[in-house]
Amino acid sequence: MTLAENLQAVRERIDAAARAAGRDPASVRLLAVSKTRPAADVRTLAGLGQRDFAENRVQELSGKAADLADLTELRWHLVGQLQRNKAAAVVRLGAGVHSVDRVPLVEALGRAADREQRTVEVHLQVDLGGPEGELGARGGASPADVPGLADAVAEAPGLRLLGLMAVAPRGEDPEPAFARLAELAARVRADHPSAVELSAGMSGDLEAAVTAGATEVRVGTALFGARPLTSGPGE
Ligand SMILES: *Cc1c(COP(=O)(O)O)cnc(C)c1O
């Protein structure tokens, strides 16, 4: 399969899931997760009209963004854990941050946005728990902490709250987890009308996410093929 064929197949999956859920396919955006993939693959997909690319490490994101600086239409997103001391680097890149999960990180991003005179688009990452409901397995804030975190983002002048992001629990039916996420998203949106995005769904579960109302799906493997084993989600 070529990248073009993969892109078409993924887009068809998204569109079919949207139609089955009675939704407009154009209401679901595809984020291509290009972690571990060469910049040349990103360039190929960009040539096919793909605009949004996601990475899970700041260093890899800055390297690729620099290699592809001529493609000014690209939008970059960080979906992996972010350390406070790298907040300024992400802000300078103009990337969206989908993995905000604690107040000190909100503060660091807010300070960096202020210094750089930029607006940073933020998703709060929610921990949907594991098979036994245990938290902490894949990063993210516990659902109970999300409303307060949303308020903290809203109070930071340089940050714009776009919505929530989550990874489905491993080894569990994603549907109830995505339903809990959608309910939490609706609560956050009631307080923060800008928080319209729901980023959920990956190669294996994008249909369940679209059914639950995802406005963004993050797809790596189904676009680019299998990654080396050491680079799974959440790293
Ligand atoms: C790697 C990754 C993805 C993509 O996962 P695939 O199963 O390869 O589609 C999505 N979201 C996050 C946070 C990731 O780290």
- pLDDT value for 139: 78
Pull the structure tokens for residue 65: 């963004």
Are 140 and 166 in contact, with CB atoms under 8 Å apart?
Answer: yes
230 within some domain: no
Report the separation in Å between the CA atom of 165 and the middle of ligand 1, taken as the mean of its atom positions.
Answer: 12
Looking at ligand 1, which atom is closest to the CA of residue 206? 9
- pLDDT value for 132: 54
Whole-prediction pTM value? 0.94
201 within some domain: yes
233 within some domain: no
CATH number of the domain within which 86 lies: 3.20.20.10
Looking at ligand 1, which atom is closest to the CA of residue 227? 8
- Number of separate domains in the chain: 1
- pLDDT value for 235: 39
Beta bridge partners of 161: 122
User: Is residue 230 exposed (0-12), middle (13-18) or buried (19+ Cβ within 10 Å)?
Assistant: exposed
Beta bridge partners of 8: none
232 within some domain: no
Report the separation in Å between the CA atom of 189 and the middle of ligand 1, taken as the mean of its atom positions.
Answer: 25
- pLDDT value for 230: 60
Query: Which residue range is the domain that position 50 belongs to?
Result: 3-224
Q: Nearest C-alpha to atom 15 of ligand 1 is from which residue? A: 233
For the chain of 235 residues, list the mean pLDDT of each consecutive stretch of 10.
96 98 98 97 98 97 97 97 95 97 97 96 93 62 97 97 95 93 97 97 97 98 86 47
